[in-house]
Amino acid sequence: MSHQSSIACKIRSIEALKKACAAMRLTLTEAKSYRGYSQSFPCDYVIKLKDSPYEVGVIKNQDGTYDLKTDFWAGKVAREIGENCGLLLQEAAAQAAIEAAQMRGVSVYRTYDYEAGEVVLELEEPEELQAQL
């Protein structure tokens, strides 16, 4: 019996997801399948977790975005990447924002609000950009 779950998300930058995985000490690689309960499932990329027998499949959609699928049974996946991949998605969103800001020449300062459990990004535009506004 499969326990596969599709995560409601639309990842637009595979590079941001790669950086998020690296920040969380996970591995994202191109692959044809990922491991779930007692079988493998098709994917385009796989995220290998440290302490789980299961993996996270990254599946490319026709519109160029990516979805995540995994097996949350027994809580091992959630311990590493959060409920419904929440920690991974938060890190991927932070990486995408950093990527976009840096492309515009904006400095990014990153902190973590441990009480709220949130990544905090502070953006600072170069003086020449501020003068144009």
pTM, two decimal places:
0.88
In whole angstroms, how far apart are CA 19 and each of 3, 13, 63, 94, 100?
27, 10, 22, 10, 13
Question: In the prediction, which pLDDT does 49 show?
Answer: 96
- The neighbour count for residue 53, using CB atoms within 10 Å, is 13
- When divided into structural domains, the chain yields a total of 1
**Owning domain of residue 20:** 4-132
pLDDT in tens, 64-121: 999 999 999 889 999 999 999 999 999 999 999 999 999 999 999 999 898 888 899 9
Report the C-alpha gap between 45 and 48 in whole angstroms. 10
Residue 27: helix, strand or coil by DSSP?
A: strand
pLDDT in tens, 34-64: 999 889 999 999 999 999 999 999 999 999 9
CB of 44 closer than 8 Å to CB of 28: no
